[in-house]
Amino acid sequence: MFTVIGERINTTLKKVKSATENRDEAYIKNDVITQEKSGATYIDVNAGARIGHEEEDMRWLLSVVQSATTLPLCLDSPDPAILEMAYSLVERPPMINSISLEKDRFEPMMQFLKGKNCRIIALCMDDSGMPKSVDDIFCRAKALVEELEKIGFKRNDIFIDPLIQPMSVDAANGTMVFKAVEKIMTELQGVHTTGGLSNISYGLPQRKVINRIFLAMLMAKGFDSAILDPLDSAIMAVLKTADMLQGEDAFCMNYLKAVRAGSIVA
Partner 1 sequence: MSHIDTIQKTLITGDEETLLDQVREALDQGVAPQDILSQALIAGMDIVGERMESGEMFIPEVLMSAQAMGRAVEILKPLLGDEESASSGRIIIGTVKGDLHDIGKNLVVMMLESSGFEVTDLGVDVSPDDFLKAIEEVNPHIVGLSALLTTTIPMMRETVSKIIESGKRDTLKIMVGGAPVNQEFADEIGADAYAADAGAASKLAKSMLG
**Which residues would be at the binding site for partner 1 (CB under 8 A)?**
12, 48-49, 51, 78-79, 102, 104, 125, 127, 129-130, 165-169, 202-205
Supply the minimum distance, in Å, between the C-beta of residue 177 and partner 1. Answer: 16
Reported residue count of the chain is 266
Least CB distance to partner 1 at residue 202 (A): 8
Nearer to partner 1, 91 or 170 (CB): 170
Residue 32: Cβ within 10 Å count: 25
Cα 61–Cα 63–Cα 66 angle in degrees, nearest 5? 100
Instruction: Tell me which DSSP letter residue 196 carries.
Output: B
Angle subtended by helix axes 14-21 and 25-37, to nearest 10:
140
Strand partners, 122: 99, 160
Helix/strand/coil for 256? helix
169 versus 266: smaller Cβ distance to partner 1? 169
Give me the least distance between CB of 73 and partner 1, in Å please: 20
What is the closest distance, in whole angstroms, from the C-beta atom of residue 84 to partner 1 in the complex?
17
- Residue whose CB is less far from partner 1, 54 or 182: 54
Residue (205 or 247) nearer to partner 1, CB: 205
Distance CA 102, CA 125 (A): 6
Shortest Cβ distance from residue 220 to partner 1 (Å)? 25
CB 113 within 8 A of CB 151: yes
Residue with Cβ nearer partner 1 (31 or 76): 76
